[in-house]
Structure 1
Amino acid sequence: MLMLLLTSSCALLLSAVGFAVNDWLSMRSAIFERLQAQAGVIGHNSIAALTFGDAESADKTLESLKNEADIVSAVLFSSDGVMFAHFDRDEHSIPPAFPAEETGRIDGNFFVVSPILLDSHQIGNILLISDLSHWEQRQTFHLIIALGVLLLSLSTALLLSSRLQRLVSEPILKLAETARRVSEGQDYGLRAEKISSDEIGTLVDDFNDMLRQIQLRDRELQKARDELEERIEARTLELTELTRQLEHQAYHDMLTGLANRITFDDHLKLAIDQARRHGQRLAVMFLDLDRFKTINDTLGHAVGDKLLMQVSQRLLACIRDCDTLARLGGDEFAVLLTQIRQGTDAAEVASKLIAAIAEPIPIEGYSLHITTSIGISLFPEDGNHAETIVKNADTAMYRSKDRGRNQFTFFSSDMNDRAVRRLALENKLRKAIAEGAFNIHYQPRRDTLSLAIVSVEALARWTDSEEGPIAPSEFIPLAEECGLIALIDEWMLENACREMLACCTGGEADLRLAVNLSPAQFIREDLVEVISGILQRTGFPGDKLELEITESLFGPGSIDACTILEQLCTLGIELSIDDFGTAYSSLSRLKQLPLHTLKIDRSFVHDLGHDADDETLVRTIISMAHNLNLKVVAEGVETETQYDYVKQYGCDTVQGYLFGKPVPFHQLKELL
């Protein structure tokens, strides 16, 4: 609006100034022209008076100007510039001298000078002076009119601009108000009112279209925001649960949910601190499941895991809430008993644990039997630090295994010597395997009736450079625990086949070679390929080879072992069960397995002639084996009485010190 007024004012002012200047110039020019015309008339009428020097006649001529109200003075000059006659109104001053210019101003009045000519000769000049008051009044009048027109024009411009302002700004202000309401309330459903169909109406349409797009985008953003919030909430819950799981996994065993080694160590250290402050006692038990590896390998890890979970539940049921049960790894568990009065409290709990685990455990249709060996150490008797207490309990556990398993043993100071011995023996065993420091002894197996040597059993022997001979009963279990038995088995099989090749294939000899094979070998997928490769390299015939396998391999569900045994039979190899009667073979399993020979354990043969129960068992085993078309070997025959009994019961072959001790190959050749 101000711009409109300023523009209009400038235009009108410029126009007024232009008209005023033009009017001033026009009126000034008109005044000079009129004075020139009057001067010409007066000059023409004064020619005669100048010619004849008649001043009086000239005065009369000049007095005729009285009727011209604007003429205030008139002077007639001769040709030499001398005033000849004059006329003045109201005693106006007459110029004393002839002016140099033809037109101009004298005392604020206009004047003109016009020459008087007679026959083209200038005989004088006429000077007329005009009053400006009339001209100034007229200019003032014109200026007033111009100012009035200017004010009228400005008023009109003001009215027009006010109207235009309402026409233009009102819809824009409404549009701005709508935009402000949308911005303040975040309500994109509002719409601006369309008042006109001009450019502003187009702007309103575009503004409303923009709001529609924003509203659509806002809905999409809100939907995306809601989905994002849902995802964030779900992800937060997932991360919270994951954090809880990770924290639980960090301090608990993933399979059983029991405390892990970290948690057990923390609880033990805290319990030792409290027991030391209050003068209390505590006990640590180290548990290891006996022959768990055999079940795990034969029935599979899934069954092994379920067995561990059930064992952990049974163990939990035997301890108090204030005690701690932890799974340290594999089949090893640890129990922390706090606030015990004496060692017999720990012994009582250990007995409960052994009894609970000894109960049959049903898993996937199998009734599994398992035992545990437990080592117990006490605080403060067996150590003042957590590491020492745990180490001593572990040492006592190995003592329980050495004593026959399925029992508990309290730690004693001499057990550390046994642990040191075991570690030293393990290092020597690894070195002996790497250097091939083993040798093979052969024990003959004789026909029960003719006492002819029908086969020999290859037995591993180890003579240490420092200690001398080391008993197989000491290093074989250690090799199984350390995972070294497979290397010993392969070395034994290949070297025995090489040495006995000539004895088993030459001449009329019908000898067979029997070699022990550890149950741990049956977890290998390439066992058949390994044995087949040894037979090919040595040239030893498969039908002259007998593999002796302990009875523990043939527990319930040993389907994979049966498959491997059947594959071995395709090589011509015969299979025999060693130490029969010491594990859990059943008649149905014996019937299903591709077996050829059954070896009665020496524990049953030892008391023949002294124990009627053993006599009944041996007689029953021999009869059962023959009914299953199995040959029977009685091992550990050391007396004539034992020999007479097994011969009487119909045993096929006998083996023991009575008929020959294990000897090196060169002595065996001499014996043959």
Structure 2
Amino acid sequence: MKLLILACVVLLFAISSVVSTQRNHQVSGLISQSIKTISWSSSELEMETLKFMQALRRLALNDLSRDELLLRFDLLWSRIDVLATGEESRPFRDYPGATELLQRFKLHMIAIEPDILSLRPGDQAAIALEQSLTPLQQQVRLLNVQTAAGEKSWRKLRQISGLQDEANLYLLGLLLSGSILIFLLIRESTTNLTQAMHDSLTGLANRHAFHLKLKQTINSNRKRHMVAFMLDMNNFKYVNDQLGHAIGDQLLQAIAAQLQTTFGPKSTIARLGGDEFGIFIEGNHTPAACHQLVRQLHSEFNQGLTIQGHRLYPQLSIGSSVFPEDATEPDLLMRNADLAMYYAKHDPKANYYAFEQPMEDKRQRYHTLAEDLVSALANNQIRQVYQPVVCLKTRRIVLAEALLRWHHAQYGDISPLEVVTVAERAGLAEQLNAWVLTTASSQNMAWRKAGLPAIKTSVNISPAMYTRYDLAGMLTRTLAQTGLPADQLVLEITEDTTMQDIDSSPQILSQLRRLGVELALDDFGTGYSSLSHLKSMPFQKIKIDKSFIQACSSAPQRAHSVLRTIIHLGQSLGMQVVAEGIETRAQYEHLFAEGCQFGQGFWFHRPMSGDELAGLLHKHLQQDNVSYLSDKAAMERQV
């Protein structure tokens, strides 16, 4: 019914507008005919006649040239022709006596034309010609006065007045219908505003209303205290996916009702979107009071909610921020609460965090590093060092692991793990991995071109590069660009990375293996992969995590048993075993005795630059040459 009434009003509004417009056009047309067409035409004819008569007098006084006189004569002729033949001048010709006057004017002009053409400046005959035009000029003058003040003009003016009254009537209808329409629009706008400020599902304030109320509250009195909360449900996606959106909606409604009960009528509660809620309460709330509110809320939800026969236990992550201690601006206050909620969501041991400044410092550190990492990659501000891997039997270097090093101007040395984490979160994983692969491969080729002993280079691949991007394509391009043989490159992939996508991991690794590169399972023993999963992976190397090596000092018997098991497991699967973090001679001797083939750690070499490793390889080359010459001389003596 509301829509029908609105449609009728709009139709009435439209009809009134059309009719009113048409009437106004008629009024304008009549005004144009009676004033512009007739009066203007007759006044223009009179004006041209007077100008021509004046030109004749000036010619007789030798004050005007012949050409100027002829120009005025042509203009008068042109005006007469237009009025006599032009379609736009028809209303003028329809006026009584106008056509006859034009005919007489034309005949007179034809008659005096030869005399006009023969005139010269100072010729007194021009006076006589001027006097001959006087009767016609007076008739034109009379016609001009009649068109402006005659009875017919008055009749048209009265007709115009009548039409104007009708137009006013239609205008009144227009205003009336417009007023009704505006009234309905205002009422609808009020309803829409209410809907725009509230969440339709829960009835709570929405994001816009919440931030507006928070801003108004803070700006009205900046000396007051308040606490803001951000809440997020951890298992809401499971409810929607497994039980359906209808139950998910009812769960949100139940949570909204419980929030209102727990935080009370003096709080402002809003559903900010999805399963996220915002709350702020005025008053000086101590940390203990905030904890009490959160415990009360969790206590209610721990009892469970029954929705359509399903018993649900909502798991909430909550963060809080206090005004003005933590922030003095509304947006910053809620951002701090959101940041605290993020910590609560990613801490399995806690479901509530109060904002602390180190959280913001860490967030700011991440954003600064993410922004600066782009320029660091572009300007070669990141470098690589290389830690050798040696054969435990010969103590010779067989491989060099490429390690990231980044010295940030503000934060100093950034660990490789943090660099990788920042790159993955900032969408720079592909760019970073490409730089690492290219730099390591180019360095290896530089050693080879220098005639140094050939060693392999291993590169750590970040989880995002393994699961989200075309790693095989990147490897193909890198090897083609640098010229490094594929079998001289080792990719180190952590155990947890392969577990991120168990179904596709064997396929991805097989694709990499077909390129010819070697694969090493890094940090073995720290992840959660099963033996069946490990057996299906085409790795050539297993790297024992250094935590197992270091455990030999605190619990030697158990640690030795674990190491022995890992070494025998790797060898039984046909894989080479590399031990990381060897720092003492005892660790080295034990690993060698257990049959471990390769080792890496400070006991052998610390990470070094490419040039330093080149120098080390060069010394080994010299030692090999000396040993070869000594062996050769001994053989010759024996012969």
Name the TM-score, length of structure 1 as normaliser. 0.48
Structure 2 residues without counterparts, runs of 5 or longer: 1-191, 264-268, 300-314, 618-639
Partner of 2:598: 653
Percent identical = 31
- The reply on whether 1:533 has 2:498 as its aligned counterpart is no
CA 510–434 in structure 1, closer or farther in 2 if over 3 Å, else same = closer
- The residue identity in structure 1 corresponding to 2:575 is L
Matches within 5 A, 1:142-157: none
**CA offset digits 1:458-484 (Å, max 9, x no partner):** 112223467664433443321221111
CA contact (8 A) 1:601 1:635 kept: yes
| CA distance in 2: counterparts of 1:463 and 1:383, whole angstroms | 32
1:424-465, Cα deviation, whole Å (9 max, x unpaired): 322221211222322211010112333221211011222346
Matches within 5 A, 1:112-511: 263-264=206-207, 266-267=209-210, 282-285=227-230, 320-322=258-260, 336=279, 342-343=286-287, 376-378=320-322, 381-383=325-327, 385-396=329-340, 409-464=353-408, 469-501=413-445, 503=447, 509-511=453-455
Aligned counterparts of 2:447 and 2:482: Cα–Cα separation in 1: 13
Q: Establish whether residue 565 from structure 1 lines up as the match of residue 492 from structure 2.
A: no
Distance 1:599 1:373 in 2: 38
Say if 2:377 and 2:432, in contact at 8 Å, map to a contact too: yes
Unaligned runs of 5+ in 1: 1-243, 290-301, 356-370
Native 8 Å contact 2:452 2:614 kept in 1: no
State yes or no: 1:633 paired with 2:633: no
Shift of 1:543: 1.0
Q: Distance in 1 between matches of 2:316 and 2:459?
A: 30
CA deviations over 1:201-247 (Å, ceiling 9, x no partner): xxxxxxxxxxxxxxxxxxxxxxxxxxxxxxxxxxxxxxxxxxx9xx9
Contact 2:225 2:282 in 1 (8 A): yes
Shift of 1:669: 0.7
Q: Which amino acid aligns with 1:636?
A: G
Question: Which deviates more from structure 2 when the two are superposed, residues 621-630 or residues 610-619?
Answer: 610-619
Distance in 2, Cα, partners of 1:627 & 1:422: 43
The structural deviation recorded for 1:530 is 1.8
| Deviations, residues 548-578 of structure 1 (Å, cap 9, x unaligned) | 1122222265323332211110011111222
Structure number having the greater helix percentage: 2
Aligned to 2:609: 664
Amino acid at match of 2:457: L
Residue type of the alignment partner of 1:387? D
CA distance in 1, matches of 2:460, 2:238: 27
Task: State whether residues 606 and 636 of structure 1, in contact with CA within 8 Å, keep that contact through their aligned partners in structure 2.
Answer: yes
Shift of 1:667: 0.2
Inter-partner Cα distance in structure 2 for 1:651 and 1:479: 35
Q: Distance in 2 between matches of 1:280 and 1:381?
A: 9
Q: What is the letter of the counterpart of residue 635 of structure 1?
A: E
Please point out which of 530, 543, 547 is paired with 1:603.
Answer: 547
Note if contact 1:489-1:517 (Cα within 8 Å) is conserved in structure 2. yes
Which amino acid in 2 is paired with 1:650?
G
How far is 1:621 from its partner?
Answer: 3.0
**Post-superposition shift, 1:282?**
4.2
Q: 1:353 to 1:626 in 2, by over 3 A?
A: farther
Secondary structure, aligned partner of 2:521:
strand
Q: TM-score, normalised by structure 2?
A: 0.50
The equivalent residue for 2:566 is 621
**Counterparts of 1:325 and 1:575, CA distance in 2:** 52
In the TM superposition, what whole-angstrom CA distance separates every residue of 1:349-379 from its partner, at most 9, and x where no partner exists? 9899999xxxxxxxxxxxxxxx999754345
Cα-to-partner distance string for 1:511-540 (whole Å, 9 max, x where unaligned): 221001112113445321221111112111
Measure, in 1, the Cα distance between the counterparts of 2:588 and 2:344: 34
| Rg larger in structure | 1
* Closer/same/farther in 2, CA of residues 565 and 648 from structure 1, 3 Å limit: same
Report the equivalent of 2:15: none
Contact 2:225 2:322 (8 Å CA) reproduced: no
Whole-angstrom CA distance in 2 between matches of 1:532 and 1:629:
26
Alpha-carbon spacing, 1:383–1:559, altered in 2? closer, same or farther (3 Å): same
| Residues 78-123 of structure 1: per-residue CA shift (max 9 Å, x gap) | xxxxxxxxxxxxxxxxxxxxxxxxxxxxxxxxxxxxxxxxxxxxxx
How many Å separate the matches in 2 of 1:461 and 1:333? 39
Alpha-carbon distance in structure 2 between the residues aligned to 1:452 and 1:305: 59
Q: Look up the equivalent residue of 1:579 and give its one-letter code.
A: D
**Aligned equivalent of 1:574:** 518
The alpha carbon displacement at 1:337 in A equals 8.0
Q: Distance in 2 between matches of 1:651 and 1:258?
A: 63
Give the SS at the match of 2:613: helix
In 2, distance between residues paired with 1:579 and 1:644? 21
Question: Which is further off, 448-457 or 596-605?
Answer: 596-605
Q: Secondary structure at the match of 1:553?
A: helix
Mapped to 2, the partners of 1:476 and 1:490 lie a distance apart of 13
Contact preservation (8 Å) 2:399, 2:457: yes
Q: CA deviation at 1:407?
A: 7.9
Deviation of residue 501 (structure 1)? 2.1
**Is the Cα contact below 8 Å between 1:497 and 1:538 reproduced in 2?**
yes
Deviation at 1:420, TM superposition (A): 3.4
Residues 423, 587 of structure 1: alpha-carbon distance in 2 compared, 3 angstrom cutoff: same
- Whether the 8 Å contact between 1:284 and 1:337 is mirrored in structure 2 is yes
Letter in 2 for 1:655: Q
* Inter-CA distance 444–285: structure 2 relative to 1 (3 Å threshold): farther
The answer to whether the 8 Å contact 1:598/1:630 transfers is yes
Query: Which of the two has greater strand per residue?
Result: 1
Distance 2:575 2:298 in 1: 36
Deviation at 1:665, TM superposition (A): 0.5
Indicate the larger mover: 395-404 or 571-580: 395-404
The higher-RCO structure (CA 8 Å, 6+ apart) is 2
Q: Give, in whole Å, the separation in 2 of the partners of 1:333 and 1:447.
A: 56
Question: CA, structure 1 residues 508+433, in 2 after alignment: closer, same or farther (shift >3 Å)?
Answer: closer
User: Which residue type is aligned with residue 522 of structure 1?
Assistant: Y
Structure 1 residue 632, shift from structure 2 partner: 2.3
Deviation at 1:494, TM superposition (A): 1.1
1:545 is displaced (CA, Å) by: 1.0
- 1:615 and 1:386, CA in 2 relative to 1: closer, same or farther beyond 3 A? farther
1:374 and 1:321, CA in 2 relative to 1: closer, same or farther beyond 3 A? closer
**C-alpha distance 378-491 of structure 1, shift in aligned 2 (>3 A):** same
- Displacement of 1:307 in angstroms is 10
Number of matched residues?
393
Match of 1:544 among 488, 495, 500: 488
Q: Distance in 1 between matches of 2:244 and 2:591?
A: 45
